[in-house]
Amino acid sequence: MAETTRAGFVALIGEPNAGKSTLLNRMVGAKVSIVTHKVQTTRARIRGVAIEGDSQIVFVDTPGLFAPRRRLDRAMVAAAWGGAADADVVVLMIEAHRGITPGVEAILERLQEIGQGRSVALAINKIDRVKAPALLELTQALNARFDFAETFMISAEKGHGVDDLRRWLAREMPEGPWLYPEDQIADLPMRMIAAEITREKLTLRLHQELPYQLTVETESWEDRKDGSTRIDQVVYVARDGHKGIVLGHRGETIKAVGQAARAELEEFLGRKVHLFLQVKVRPGWLEEAERYAEMGLDFNDGGA
State which residues form the domain around 206.
Answer: 190-302
> Is there a single domain that holds both residue 129 and residue 223?
no
* Inside any domain, residue 195: yes
> Is there a single domain that holds both residue 257 and residue 166?
no
> Within 10 Å of residue 243's Cβ, how many Cβ atoms?
17
* Inside any domain, residue 180: no
* Inside any domain, residue 1: no
> Is there a single domain that holds both residue 77 and residue 155?
yes
> Is there a single domain that holds both residue 135 and residue 260?
no
> Is there a single domain that holds both residue 196 and residue 47?
no
Domain final position from 172, 198, 226? 172
| DSSP conformational letter for 161 | T
Domain final position from 137, 172, 207? 172
Number of domains in the chain: 2
For residue 242, list its beta bridge partners.
none
- Which of 20, 6, 17, 172 lies closest to 88 in space, CA to CA? 172
* Inside any domain, residue 293: yes
Distances (CA, A) of 197 to 84, 108, 161, 208, 234: 25, 32, 28, 19, 13
> Is there a single domain that holds both residue 158 and residue 49?
yes
**Sign, CA torsion 38/105/69/77:** positive
Q: What is the pLDDT of residue 29?
A: 73
Q: What is the pLDDT of residue 68?
A: 59
Q: What is the pLDDT of residue 42?
A: 46
What are the per-10-residue average pLDDT scores of the chain (304 residues)? Answer: 78 84 80 50 60 86 61 64 75 93 86 81 95 95 94 93 95 89 63 85 76 77 89 89 88 94 87 94 71 59 50
* Inside any domain, residue 184: no
* Inside any domain, residue 203: yes
> Is there a single domain that holds both residue 162 and residue 285?
no
H, E, C per residue of 6-44 = EEEEEEEEECCCCCHHHHHHHHHCCCCCCCCCCCCCCCC
> Is there a single domain that holds both residue 148 and residue 293?
no
Pairing, β 119-125 against β 273-281: unpaired
Report the CATH number at residue 106.
3.40.50.300
Report the CATH number at residue 294.
3.30.300.20
> Is there a single domain that holds both residue 160 and residue 197?
no
> Is there a single domain that holds both residue 39 and residue 152?
yes
Q: What is the pLDDT of residue 85?
A: 67
- Put simply, whether the predicted model's pTM sits higher than 0.85 gets the answer no
> Is there a single domain that holds both residue 35 and residue 155?
yes
Domain final position from 125, 144, 172? 172
